[in-house]
Structures are given as C-alpha cells and as structure tokens.
Amino acid sequence: MTNNLYPMTFTPVLKNYIWGGRHLEALGRELPPGIIAESWEIAAHEDGAAVVNNGRFAGKLLTEVQAELGLALIGKKCAWAQERGKFPLLIKLLDANRPLSVQVHPDDAYALTHEGNELGKTEMWVVLRAEPDAELILGVTKGTTPELFRAGIENGRLEPYLHRIKVKKGDHVCVPAGSLHAIMGGLLIAEIQQNSNTTYRVYDWNRLGADGQPRPLHIDKALDVINFGQVEPSLNEATLIEKKSGLRRFALCRNKYFVTEQVEITKGAVFSGNCNGDTLEIWGTIAGTAVINDVALPTIRFTLLPAAMGDFTVTAVTKTTLLRTYVA
C-alpha cells in the first residue's frame, strides 16, 4: 500500500439554486450571503470540484489529486472511471428549504447518447433533519401511463400521478436512474450519487428562476427515461449485516455504482478496515464525532480514504453514526 496516503477532507463547493435557504449553517457550513441550496462535500465534476484542506494535498482540487494518483485514489474497481476522466462519486448536502422540481435522471446509456461524456445518475438520500409532515415524491401512482402523464403536464394537472412518501430524520431512500422524484420542502438531506449533474425537469411548480424566467423543462427526455413501472414504492429498510460489541453495521443501498452502509459505534469503540487498492472509501458522520486514523470528523463531515491507503481505524469519540460508501 501507499503509506503516504491519508484520509482527505475538503472545502466544499456551494450552490445557490432557488429552492435553498440558510439551513446548512446549522450543519457547520460557512455560507456567503443569500440562498444556498447545496454543499458539494466531495466533488470532482466540471460544474464544481472540492479543494483538499488537509495534509500534503492541501490546496489541490480533487480533480488534480485524481490526475496525480489515478487508481491509487479511486481503486481498480473504478478503472472505467479513470479511463473516462471521471471521479466515480459525488457527495452532497441539500437544504430543501422549498420543494425541488419534479425530475428524473437518465441511466448511463441514455446520458452517453444525449449528454456527451456525462454519466447517468443513480443516487440515494439520507434524511438528516425534517420538519413535521415533510415528504418526498418517488415514483408514480397506480394507473399512471406515459400518455396520462404527458397529458397531465400539458393541462397543468400532474399531482394525481405523483406518489408522495412522508419521511423523518434517519430515513433513507434509494433512487435508481429513471425514478421520478422530488425532494419537498423542510428537509436537510445527505446525498450520495454517481458523479453526474444531469437532471431532466418535468414540473417546477410554475415558479420563476433568479433571472425572472421559468427554469427550462426537459419533458421529452424525461418521458424517455421515467420508469413508469416504479409504482408507489415504499421507503427502503436498513438490513443488519454485522453486530458485535460496540458496533453495528447496516446495509442501506447497494447498486452497481456504490454500496452505502450505516455504521453505529459506541463511545471509545473502534472499527478497523483496509483500503487494499480495490476501491476508495468515503466516510461521513451523521451523528456524533469520530477520528479516522488521525483525522478528526465532527458531526456532518465527510472524508475520502484513497483506495491504496492501507489499514485504517475509525474510533468513536462519542456515540457515533457514520455513512460508509465504497464500490463493490
């Protein structure tokens, strides 16, 4: 293993979309004036790249670190991403102060055909905070067909076809490419996704963008890729995969792009792992505080463990809940 590699932390990229607010300050983010919707915590995309803020790579963009380290950073299982000049994943925090648009993301095949070198987007959400009666839109209602859906868009009556799910703090949702969805108002969300910024909007609540004009819709492309077989899905449930003294691990989402686990560690207990060159690992605290090797992680912080880093330990400073993401 490459013994000069270490857990990297980042200065995030902030995005000021119209549905945001100021709630990311409560998660410890330093915000400029105005509306802030997203904090791209670990990002290497042409629309935003985070800067390393610790260790020997401090001051470098994650894109620059990948150019230098290659598979030692992202892992042999991500060789396809290296060949295409892509980082495999993107980690965000979202302040849904107001509802996001009703939207869908394409899969890789459609994106590569219609969006150049962009990827599709499979993603997942973990609810960090939720106002009472907060909800999401995911999938369609029973009886929805592409023809009915298009007619609903054209006559401004889309609501009957949108499946709503109430959510609370701690819930998680797996969102495969092709899922019709919208994060509604009153939610703070951690999002783990493919490294893509391709979104097809279907409906934007008849509101105007910052320029005073309606934001663009992408109805034909959306109808091409919406999975109308995703009918009234329920929330995903965590599956216990390991339990021992001081530690519990749960599987949240598993797909061909990433695996996300939730790891609960009692105060003073330790999780030991190894980055053996196969895959990077991304860890983030969603409750409590931890130390990975000698890098401190306060609440709601993420760190990137390079694929060739070797052994690592996660030590809970307090009772801690973490998200762990890697490529299987």
Q: DSSP character for 287?
A: E
CB 327 within 8 A of CB 258: yes
Neighbours of 136 (CB within 10 A): 26
Q: Which of 238, 215, 234 is nearest to 37 (CA)?
A: 215
Surface-to-core class of residue 46, CB atoms within 10 Å of its CB (0-12 exposed, 13-18 middle, 19+ buried): exposed
Whether residue 201 lies in the annotated active site: yes
The one catalytic residue in 29, 129, 150, 201 is 201
CB 304 within 8 A of CB 282: yes
Q: DSSP character for 127?
A: E
CA within 13 Å, CB half, 129: 15
CB 217 within 8 A of CB 230: no
> Mind giving me the DSSP string for 8-63?
B-EEPEEE--TT-BSGGGGGT----SS-B-EEEEE-EETTEE-EE-SGGGTT-BHH
Surface-to-core class of residue 147, CB atoms within 10 Å of its CB (0-12 exposed, 13-18 middle, 19+ buried): exposed
Read off the tokens for 212: 């005073």
CB 75 within 8 A of CB 327: yes
Surface-to-core class of residue 248, CB atoms within 10 Å of its CB (0-12 exposed, 13-18 middle, 19+ buried): middle
Task: Kindly list the catalytic residues.
Answer: 201
